[in-house]
Amino acid sequence: MTTSATPRERLLSAAGELFYRDGMGIGVDALCKAAGVSKKSMYQLFRSKDEVIAESLAGSGPVYEAALLPGPDDRRPPRERILGVFERQDLMAAEGNFLGCPFVSAAVELKDPEHPGSVVARRLKQHLTDFFQAELVAAEAEDPGTLAVQLTIVFDGTSARAVVQAQALAGIGTTTAAALLDAAGVK
């Protein structure tokens, strides 16, 4: 973060890092200290910590998606574009600081499906399923909606495994996704 960042930007940046690393239970005092912003300033910028959670998730979504999804210039066939997501996930998990999907982590920790952070997490998680479905439609897969959900479940399951087992994925997500695509006849 640059020194010219506004207090709002500093709060959202610190929130994104702290919530992902330490969980949503991080206190407002610790958040403000990390951001170099007073509590008074935080509450002038945001109505509540819940709003900070939701906005920090919304801000991290495009960055996380850009790390996983192929870019608009990627002209590989749909199957390769889908498997590329799992390959990137594998690389992220191997880096050693991978703590799972930030959106699943947030929703699980928040528990309340109506919490503003859960609403944002659900919307951002849907982007991955929508990506899979669009690729499966392009590949002319049968029942692309169901297969897209199945691929999302594989993604989330392998993310959880990387965290719970505290080890790299070693291609298990890619292999499992490929088996699903094979079974559906997606070449």
Task: Express each pLDDT in 60-74 by its tens digit.
Answer: 999 999 999 999 899
* 31 and 87 part of one domain: no
Whether residues 76 and 105 share a domain: the answer is: yes
Tell the burial category of 127 from Cβ atoms under 10 Å away from its Cβ (0-12, 13-18, 19+): middle
Domain co-membership, 66 together with 23: no
Total structural domains in the chain? 2
**Total length of the chain:** 187
pLDDT digits (tens, 9 = 90+) for 28-55: 999 999 999 999 999 999 999 999 999 9
Containing structural domain, residue 31: 1-46
| Phi then psi dihedrals of residue 32, to 5 deg | -65, -40
What predicted TM-score, i.e. pTM, was given to this entire model? Answer: 0.92
CB atoms within 10 A of CB 112: 11
What whole-number distance in Å separates Cα of residue 62 and Cα of residue 151? 20
Are 106 and 118 contacting, i.e. CB atoms less than 8 angstroms apart? yes
Looking at the fold, whether 37 and 76 belong to one and the same domain comes out as no
Which CATH number is 19's domain given?
1.10.10
